[in-house]
Structure 1
C-alpha cells in the first residue's frame, strides 16, 4: 500500500498509521476519545484518503432503536443496487464478492453497550458483536469509536442480563492535538485571519477541553460577524466565556441522562425480580384479607 495522502487530515500522522493498520493488517481498532476532540473528524479524514475503498460509516447513536436502519445506511453507501440484506453477515457477503477493500467505521459504539433501554433494538445483541468479531476473518477492517475503553463495557439484554462478548478490539487513544496540527487546520479553514490572530486562536484551542467543538463555534461567530468591531483578542475572550456558559456547564441533556439511565436500570431490575415477588405478595394480600 502506498503511503496515504493525509494532507487534509487534522491528525495526519495518526490517521495515516491507522489507515495502514486497518487496510494492511485488518486490525480491529477501538478509537477512544472524548467529546469535542475530533473523533468524527478522524473518521471523515479516513474516508477521504482513498475513494477506491469501501469506507462504510454509521453512527450507532442514530440507529440504536432500529437495527434495519443501520443496515440500510451501510447499504446505501456501497452503491450496490437492490435491497439491503437483513443481516450484517449478508451485507459482508455482498461486499466481499469483489476485490475492493472494505472498512467499517462505527461511531458512538458505546450507545448500544451497558444500555438497558427497553427501546434498544433487539438486533444489537451479543450475536451482533460476535458478527463484528468475525469480520477480520473475512478480510473486513473494523473501527469502533467509544468515549472510554471498550473492555469494561458489557451488553445488557432487555431482561437485565449482562453478557460479555467475544469481540476483540485493540485500543487506540485519540492523540492530543499539537500546536502544529492546530495551526495547519486553522490555515485550511480560516485563511482570512492574519498570523497574529491565528496564533491567538491556536493557543486558545491548545488549552481548550473541547478544541474541535470550540473551533466550530468560533467559525460560526466569525461568519455571523459577532462583535466584529472589537479587537480579535477581546472577541476571542468573549467567545470563550460565552461557550463556557453555553456548553461548559451542566446542560439539560446532561441532567436528564443520569435520570434516564437510573430509570432504565430500575425497569430492567424490576423486570428480573417481579416474578420472584409475585407469589409472596399474593400470600400477604390473602392474609390481610383474612382468607388464609
Structure 2
C-alpha cells in the first residue's frame, strides 16, 4: 500500500463502510448498548458473508485473497463504527477454526495481561482461560474477563497488535469527525464554537494525531515489521485515547452524557489499549532499535 490508496483499496474501504453502516449504524449501536451489550449473531454472520473474516484467505480456501494492507483498511472502518465483538481474534482464526471465516463461529483470544473479551459469547477461545474472573468493563459493548497470572504478552502476535492499532485509528477518525462537526454547528455567543481559538487548536491537534497514526499504521501494514508495528500501536493508541478526550472537551459537558457517542469512543479506546498488553513492551522494542541504529 502506498500512502495514496489505489482505486481498488478505496472501493474496498467505501464498500466496507457501507456494509458496516447498514448492519451496525448509530441506531444499532445504541440498541446494543441499551440491550445490555450482547453479540448479535445475525450481523456477525453478515460480516462473514461480506468477507470480513475471510479477507486474507486465498480464493481456493473460500476467501477474498487480499493482504494485510487491505485488512488494515477494513479494521479501520470497524473501529470508526465502534463495531463490537472479538473481530481481530475471529479474523485471525479464519482458515484455522472451522466456521470462523463465515461468521458462524465466534472466536476470542487471551490478550495482553490475560484480558479476554467476549468470553461468554465465544464458541472458541485461543489460550488458557482456567480461573478467568469476570470484570466490570468500562465499555458497555466489551464484556471482559481476566486470567490471573497470565503472561502479559500471551496470545499476542504482531498481526493481532497491528489490526488492533487499525481499529484504534478508526476510532480516532470518528472522534475527529465528531469534534469538527460539533465545532461547526454548536453556537455560543452567536458564533460557532469552532471560531474560538482554543477549540480550533483542539481540532487541529486531533487531525494531526490521526494523520500521524494513519501513516504509521499503513506503513506497518506494508512492512509487517515488529518495530514498525510497535510504533503504529503507540501512535494509534495515543490518537484514539487523547483524540476522544479532546473531542469530549470540544463537546463540553454534553460529551459526558449518555446521549452523546463521544464517551463510547473513549471507553472503547481504553479497552483496546489494554488488549495489546503493556505499552512498555512496545516502547522497549523501539528503544532497542534506536540504540542499535545509533551504535
TM-score (normalizing by structure 1)? 0.30
Who wins on radius of gyration, i.e. which is larger? 1
TM-score (normalizing by structure 2)? 0.30
